[in-house]
Chain A
Amino acid sequence: MSQTNAAEINTDVVIIGAGPAGLFTVFELGLLDIKTHIIDILPRAGGQCSELYPEKPIYDIPGLPVVTGQGLTGNLMQQIEPFGPTFHFNEMVETLTSLGSQQAPSFRLTTDAGKIFNAKVVIVAAGGGSFQPKKPPIPEIAQYEGKSVFYAVRQMEDFRDKDVVIIGGGDSALDWTLNLQPIAKSLTLVHRRDAFRAAPHSVSAMQDLVANGKIAFKLGQITQVEGNQGQLTSALLKTNDGVIEKLSCQRLMPFFGLTMKLGPVADWGLNLNENLVPVDTEKFETSHPGIFAVGDINYYPGKLKLILSGFHEGALAAQKAHRYIYPDKKLLFQYTTSSTNLQKKLGVS
């Protein structure tokens, strides 16, 4: 499985979302000789399974009495490997344009990384939407975002010789504290308590820097920021004792984890019902022919937001996708246990 950087990509199916539903749909499509590209805003496969609960056990996957989110993702990646899907991580689909007809749909998709995809079928497996950084409720923070407030580091040089304030107590907060300290003019780590949910060696490295006076650690929360034209000059810290302290600050990085936002899915002209995409229960197709929705993002009477539902939905969507992609081929229903044809595709025959 490879990452590709080509500017324009032609494929049978684009799957939006690499969570369990999207991954298993690759398998069902693969059995039908349908090639897929799969796009996800996260840096890795697994969706909520790897982002929200990688280490937590899941007990309701049929045939797997207990499996972690990470374990399930690993198993699915192994299961779909014979079909060689191409992954495009760290990318969000921004636009989806319909070009074809009802009988022969085709679509053009663009991502925020500038890639263009041409596909006959689109399968939206976007779960709760796209994972985006949680933004702290600091008044007027929006006007500084991307200029002096950042939720991720794109260019470390941008932090050189700056007074940097980092908020949070997780791995992201500590990793960037350690990475930016050598180049920042000053660095202050702000966290609400004196305990950290991060790798122990990062925590002890950070504590060493505090003990040696290389960085400052403050217990409290940032409640306000000051500056002009997007450039911060200071941040106001409210300590846990209620004291307000003004910190010199030209770069602020809040690390409060990720949250799910529906994002651009809302702009694709699909019918929406409370941020979910209504589908039929025969093909899991949306109101727009050729666009399917599987997993947590779809809605139909009786819908259960379970991983196993997403698997079933992907299997049925693949059957209809086959008709769009191979309109002249008759689809024979086959079992992986007995069909040498399917076993060849799986590389086991």
Chain B
Amino acid sequence: MVKINFRDTAAYYGAEPGGGAPTKVKITFVDSHDQPRTVEGEVGSTVMETARRNDIPEIAAECGGACACATCHVYVDSAWSEKTGKASQMEEDMLDFAFDVQPNSRLCCQITVRPELDGLIVKTPSQQG
């Protein structure tokens, strides 16, 4: 059996040689005091996981990504809302338990990081729960 340590592969560190799709993208979280924090998110993970790994404040994510708590509420920047897409029915139901819900509100555990989201900007609310 061949054991692969994925963290040592070139793919982990960025664009694959030969022009493959990037495996990391930049995501900017703007907090409720307008302080931006730009971090790297891995393609395939979620925006919530990216926030947690990088100690982004104002994201609680109590349920750990099960779409069951509405404490990873974010406002998607208007330039990106088309690319992130709309909330699913289940997510809309959970958003009922978030505060100050706006048309651009999403639960960021339900946004999967994709190459086309490179540069994504989301804003966090002052209160999650």
Residue among A137, A191, A305 making CB contact with B126, cutoff 8 Å? A137
Residue among A56, A137, A193 making CB contact with B68, cutoff 8 Å? A56
Q: Is the CB of B63 within 8 A of A53?
A: yes
Q: Is the CB of B70 within 8 A of A257?
A: yes
Contact A52-B127, Cβ < 8 Å, known A168-B96, A193-B92, A195-B92: no
Asked if A221 is at the interface of the complex by the 8 Å CB criterion, the answer is yes
Q: Is the CB of A259 within 8 A of B100?
A: no
Expressed in whole angstroms, the minimum distance between the Cβ of A305 and any Cβ of chain B is 7
Asked if A169 is at the interface of the complex by the 8 Å CB criterion, the answer is yes
Residues of the A chain whose Cβ atoms lie less than 8 Å from the Cβ of B95: 192
Q: When chains A and B are docked, how far (Å) is the Cα of A277 from the Cα of B66?
A: 24
Contact A48-B63, Cβ < 8 Å, known A257-B70, A259-B129: yes
Q: Is the CB of B97 within 8 A of A53?
A: no
Q: When chains A and B are docked, how far (Å) is the Cα of A91 from the Cα of B68?
A: 24
Expressed in whole angstroms, the minimum distance between the Cβ of A306 and any Cβ of chain B is 10
Q: When chains A and B are docked, how far (Å) is the Cα of A260 from the Cα of B71?
A: 10
Expressed in whole angstroms, the minimum distance between the Cβ of B42 and any Cβ of chain A is 20
Residue among A128, A193, A221, A257 making CB contact with B97, cutoff 8 Å? A257
Q: Is the CB of A53 within 8 A of B92?
A: no
- Look across to chain B and name the residue whose beta carbon is closest to the beta carbon of A197: B93
Q: When chains A and B are docked, how far (Å) is the Cα of A193 from the Cα of B91?
A: 13
Contact A259-B69, Cβ < 8 Å, known A48-B63, A305-B64: yes
Expressed in whole angstroms, the minimum distance between the Cβ of B96 and any Cβ of chain A is 5
Asked if B116 is at the interface of the complex by the 8 Å CB criterion, the answer is no
Residue among A137, A191, A193 making CB contact with B100, cutoff 8 Å? A137
Interface string of B31-50 (1 = CB under 8 A from A): 00000000000000000000
Asked if B80 is at the interface of the complex by the 8 Å CB criterion, the answer is no
Asked if B10 is at the interface of the complex by the 8 Å CB criterion, the answer is no
In the complex, which residues 54-79 of chain B have their Cβ closer than 8 Å to any Cβ of chain A? 60, 62-64, 66, 68-71
Give the interface size class of chain A: 20 to 34
Q: Is the CB of A169 within 8 A of B68?
A: no
Q: Is the CB of A259 within 8 A of B62?
A: yes
Residues of the B chain whose Cβ atoms lie less than 8 Å from the Cβ of A221: 100-101
Asked if A256 is at the interface of the complex by the 8 Å CB criterion, the answer is yes
Asked if A74 is at the interface of the complex by the 8 Å CB criterion, the answer is no
Q: When chains A and B are docked, how far (Å) is the Cα of A128 from the Cα of B71?
A: 13
Q: When chains A and B are docked, how far (Å) is the Cα of A216 from the Cα of B126?
A: 30
Q: Is the CB of B69 within 8 A of A169?
A: no
Residues of the A chain whose Cβ atoms lie less than 8 Å from the Cβ of B64: 305
Residues of the A chain whose Cβ atoms lie less than 8 Å from the Cβ of B101: 192, 221
Q: When chains A and B are docked, how far (Å) is the Cα of A115 from the Cα of B93?
A: 38
Residues of the B chain whose Cβ atoms lie less than 8 Å from the Cβ of A191: 96
Contact A137-B63, Cβ < 8 Å, known A170-B96, A195-B92: no
Q: When chains A and B are docked, how far (Å) is the Cα of A254 from the Cα of B74?
A: 21
Q: List, sorted by A's number, 30 A–B pairs whose CB atoms are closer than 8 Å.
A: A52-B63, A52-B66, A52-B68, A53-B63, A53-B66, A56-B66, A128-B62, A134-B97, A134-B129, A137-B126, A137-B127, A169-B96, A170-B96, A191-B96, A192-B95, A192-B96, A192-B101, A193-B92, A195-B92, A195-B93, A197-B93, A197-B96, A221-B100, A256-B97, A256-B98, A257-B70, A257-B97, A259-B69, A259-B71, A305-B64
Task: Please provide the 8 A-B residue pairs with the shortest distance between their CB atoms, ordered closest to farther.
Answer: A259-B129, A257-B97, A197-B93, A52-B68, A137-B127, A53-B68, A169-B96, A134-B129
